[in-house]
Amino acid sequence: MGQLDGKVALITGASKGIGRVMSRLFAQEGAAIICAARSRDLVEETAALVKAVGGRAVAVTGDAATEGDVKRMIETGVGAFGKLDVLINNAGDGGPTKRVQDYTSDDWFYTINSCLTSSYMCIRFAVPEMLKAGGGSIVNISSTAGRRGLPFRIGYCSAKAGQVGMTYGMALELAPHNIRVNAIAPGAVAGDRIDRVIAGQAEVRGVPLEDMRRSFVERAPLKRMSTAEDIATLAVYLCSDAAKNLSGQCIAVTAGEPAV
């Protein structure tokens, strides 16, 4: 018996990384998965991986920050599985690593839309389905960058801080409807994205790449990065009935590094 038996989950940004790992793990715990992302080939690969572990999945392509695409994601998923219980707002591009004076308006609006507008849009259209289902769970995948900051990442820090504020406000608003809202704030998570961030930080600061990579690991007391599995495991718990009294929380996963 899985922790998420009978639940239907929409996971955005499901084409790779944390989103792909969450899709597989949620399915192993009994949820039917609506895998959503912009890349058709990659999101279909994720759906195939879910089915390979005995899960149920439907792949939907679209931009989580675009109203029509989000409506279609939810309509397709509800059409396939009959309801919606869980929303994981994982979609988002980290944007560039630049000095603020070089950070263009296009950089700003792209990053805010990708990381923050997408969360708002998905919540807006997921909530009516959760009301029909009698409740639900929303998890926003934020970042410690939204709590303690990260230099040369103004758009990303602002968007991720916005997700945390959204979490607190929505948790209060939706509690009377039995809809719980939480956030996860990962620190450095091993994978392609943190590799790009480290490379960008090394370049803008003018330090050797390996020195910058070492600093990202050594500042964590446990002397390691987190993994996508670490984030996915916490998300499963937050969406399970075991976490029925957890709402309005932002939980950091940082290998021991203080989040603020």
Q: Which residues are catalytic?
A: 156
Residue 197: Cβ within 10 Å count: 20
136 φ, ψ (degrees, to nearest 5): 175, -175
Q: What is the C-alpha to C-alpha distance for residues 220 and 71, in angstroms, rounded to an integer? A: 40
Separation in Å, CA 163 to CA 4, 98, 175, 181, 185: 24, 22, 18, 11, 10
Q: Which residues of 82-114 are buried (b: 16+ CB within 10 A; e: fewer)?
A: ebbbbbbbbbbbbbbbbeeeebeeeebebbbbb
- SS3 label, residue 40: helix
